[in-house]
Amino acid sequence: MRMAGLLVRDFGSLGGVMSASWWRLRGSVGMKVANAISASRDLMRRALTEGVAAGPVISNRREVVLLLQAHLGSLRRERLIALYLDSKLRLLRIERISEGTRDSIPFDISKIIQSGLEVGACGMLLVHNHPSGDAASSPSDRDAIGRLSRVAAELDMHLIDALIVAGGECRSMLNGWTKSTNEL
């Protein structure tokens, strides 16, 4: 318990601890604890990925939200990922598309589409985070998603949803739902 308090004090929050580099953790708590935290972080991501990959992605929103929180919830810079799905909505691949700054991210439609075609995806979920903690979509978010949706539809690869992870929320840009981590 004392170690947890020290970590939260040093990194500002649990999210700060979970997104801290191994080097920063090592400087705060030593090599042994830094290794343990890094291993725990990897195990958590793998466990969440296995749960989602084992069955239909869309039918279990809870697992998707937990997976996305693990991948993006505590980052200090925006990251864009795509979850590519087969015709039965099973996960084919999770791919990092781009890294951005604290408040913007490059959006390369051709890379998103090309990656989907490479794995034979029929659909995709596009997800990015807002480190500010505000899950509201920006005008540039909505414009980029509209363009992607039109291009993907032309190629029979459907954009199932576009999600924003921010703070403890995961918000849908297309379907209008918001899920708080506290509600899970």
**Predicted confidence (pLDDT) per residue in 106-115, tens digit:** 999 999 999 9
Domain span at 63: 57-183
Within-domain flag for 93: yes
Kindly tell me if the per-residue pLDDT of 86 is higher than 70.
yes
Same domain flag for 24 and 62: no
Query: Positive or negative, the Cα torsion across 79, 155, 123, 172?
Result: positive
CA distance 23 to 144: 36
Residue 94 and residue 10 share a domain = no
Q: Are residues 64 and 22 in the same domain?
A: no
Q: Is the pTM of this model over 0.75?
A: no
DSSP type of residue 76? S
Is residue 49 in some structural domain? no
Same domain, 97 and 177: yes
**Structural domain count, the chain:** 2
Q: What is the mean pLDDT of residues 117-144?
A: 91
